[in-house]
Amino acid sequence: MKVMKIFMALAISAAIGFTGCKPKDADIKTAIETKMKADPDMAKTTVDVKDGVATISGECKDEACKAKCEKEVASVKGVKSVVNNCTVAAAPVVFTPPVITADDPLTQAVTDATKDFAGVVASVKDGVITLTGEIKKDLLPKLMMSLNSLKPKKIENQLTIK
Amino acid sequence: MALAEKYKELTDAAAAGGITDLQSREQDGVLYINGTAPSGAVKDQLWDIYGKIDPDFRAGDLILDVNVAVDANVTKVKVITESSNLNIRKGPGTDQPIVGKAAHHEIITLVNRSNEQWWLVRTADGEEGYSYARYLEPVAE
């Protein structure tokens, strides 16, 4: 009996000792989350830990950020491996403001473009092309294509279409 | 962004047709769409859609500025006037003196396209000057 008790006590203390030096999943998770909060690159990521395997998800701004995120998590004590489910945010589309041709070069360009359209009268003011006169319907798209490529602010089409 | 909605079919077709450097944004009641089309057919398709949405191009709320990409290796262009000869001018502008003519459907040499509207060309007779790009069509070698 005595031997048995000693043996059991040893077993219990061993078990306690063993789990004691192996961080629990919840503690690992807390440690990782602390790191994530401190780093703006990882602000949009979350983590789950199960049996020492850390699974990260959320959004990173680019591939380098995603790789860094994984490295940071892997370096936390107790993490056996990392499953990186982070997505990379699509590059934002940057639109530049439209280019508007100044009146002098635009007037010249409009004169060139309308020269072969008999009956069409064009004027330019503040980047706006105003069309008056008349045109055959089948020629209208051709004229509009030409004028649109001259980078005006606007085209006021007051043509009589025949 | 009501205009973006009105011309959505157009911008969708532009994206699907492989328009590069595609930009689409509204400013002061006008939607500006810019980009480079891989072929003349894609540009024509966009204009067909524009013509469907606004048949007489009266609304004045869209500037569709799509150029057709021209292969840098192209050295020959065909004169695509209605029927007449094409003027070749000393400089880029209709105010410039005429230095030569190219016949309807003649194939001439393209020297450079540094000006979008006026291309520098040379005829077989050696007449060199600027012709209006609308009447020139790149010819595959």
Note the pLDDT tens digit of each residue in B64-76.
Answer: 999 999 888 889 9
What pLDDT does residue A3 have? Answer: 67
What pLDDT does residue B70 have? Answer: 85
What pLDDT does residue A13 have? Answer: 57
Domain boundaries, chain A: 23-88, 103-161
What pLDDT does residue A90 have? Answer: 80
What pLDDT does residue A18 have? Answer: 53
Whole-model pTM?
0.70
pLDDT above 90: percentage of residues in chain B: 92
Average pLDDT, chain A: 89
What pLDDT does residue A10 have? Answer: 60
What pLDDT does residue A12 have? Answer: 60
What pLDDT does residue A91 have? Answer: 74
Do A148 and B65 count as a contact with CB atoms less than 8 A apart? yes
Class of domain B76-139: mainly beta
Among A152, A66, A158, A73, which residue's Cα sits nearest to residue A109? Answer: A152
Q: Measured between alpha carbons, how far is B131 from B141 in angstroms, rounded to an integer? A: 21
Helix (H) or strand (E) holding B32: strand B30-37
What pLDDT does residue B52 have? Answer: 97
Q: Measured between alpha carbons, how far is B2 from B8 in angstroms, rounded to an integer? A: 10
Structure tokens at A99: 């280019």
Which residue bears the tokens 């690992």?
A: A28
Q: Measured between alpha carbons, how far is A156 from A66 in angstroms, rounded to an integer? A: 51
Residue A151 near residue A100 (C-beta atoms within 8 A): yes
Neighboring chain B residues of A109 at a CB cutoff of 8 Å: 117
Above 80 in pLDDT, residue B10?
A: yes
Residue B75 near residue B109 (C-beta atoms within 8 A): yes
Which residue bears the tokens 């689409």?
A: B24
Could you tell me which residue, A8 or B80, shows the higher pLDDT? B80
Among A98, A94, A96, which residue's Cα sits nearest to residue A148? Answer: A98
* Count of alpha carbons within 13 angstroms of residue A20, beta-carbon side: 6
Confidence at A16, pLDDT banded by 50, 70, 90: low
- Please tell me the least confidently modeled range out of A33-42, B74-83, B121-130: A33-42
Residue A135 near residue A122 (C-beta atoms within 8 A): no
The DSSP letter of residue A94 is P
Above 90 in pLDDT, residue A19?
A: no
Residue B108 near residue B98 (C-beta atoms within 8 A): no
Neighboring chain B residues of A153 at a CB cutoff of 8 Å: 28, 30, 63
* pLDDT tens digits for range A101-154: 999 999 999 999 999 999 999 999 999 999 999 999 999 999 999 999 999 999
Chain A nearest-CA distance from B60, in A, is 5
Write the CB contacts of B15 (distance below 8 Å, at least 6 apart in sequence). Answer: B22
Q: Measured between alpha carbons, how far is B34 from B70 in angstroms, rounded to an integer? A: 16
Give the architecture (CATH level 2) of A103-161: 2-Layer Sandwich (3.30)
Chain B nearest-CA distance from A134, in A, is 12
Confidence at A11, pLDDT banded by 50, 70, 90: low
Do A98 and B63 count as a contact with CB atoms less than 8 A apart? yes
Do B57 and A146 count as a contact with CB atoms less than 8 A apart? no
Which segments of A7-44 are extended strands (E)?
none
Do A95 and B24 count as a contact with CB atoms less than 8 A apart? yes
Structure tokens at B141: 């070698």
Q: Measured between alpha carbons, how far is A123 from A128 in angstroms, rounded to an integer? A: 8
What pLDDT does residue A121 have? Answer: 97
Do A112 and B56 count as a contact with CB atoms less than 8 A apart? no
Confidence at A40, pLDDT banded by 50, 70, 90: confident
Question: Rounded to a whole number, what is the largest CA-CA distance in chain A?
Answer: 118
Among A90, A73, A78, which residue's Cα sits nearest to residue A38? Answer: A73
Helix (H) or strand (E) holding B99: strand B98-102
CATH assignment of B2-68, among 3.40.50.2300, 3.40.50.620, 3.30.70.1770, 3.30.70.100 = 3.30.70.1770
* Mean of pLDDT values over A50-76: 92
Above 90 in pLDDT, residue B58?
A: yes
Above 90 in pLDDT, residue B129?
A: yes
Class of domain A23-88: alpha beta
Above 70 in pLDDT, residue B48?
A: yes
* pLDDT tens digits for range A23-34: 799 999 999 999
Exposure string over B12-29, b if 16+ CB within 10 A, otherwise e: ebbeebebeebbbbbeee
Confidence at B1, pLDDT banded by 50, 70, 90: low
Domain boundaries, chain B: 2-68, 76-139
B81 to chain A: closest CA residue? A116
Do B117 and A96 count as a contact with CB atoms less than 8 A apart? no
Chain A nearest-CA distance from B32, in A, is 7
* Mean of pLDDT values over A73-90: 92
Q: Across the interface, which of B32, B60, B95 has its CB nearest the CB of A98?
A: B32
What pLDDT does residue A14 have? Answer: 55
Structure tokens at A56: 């990260």
* Mean of pLDDT values over B37-61: 96
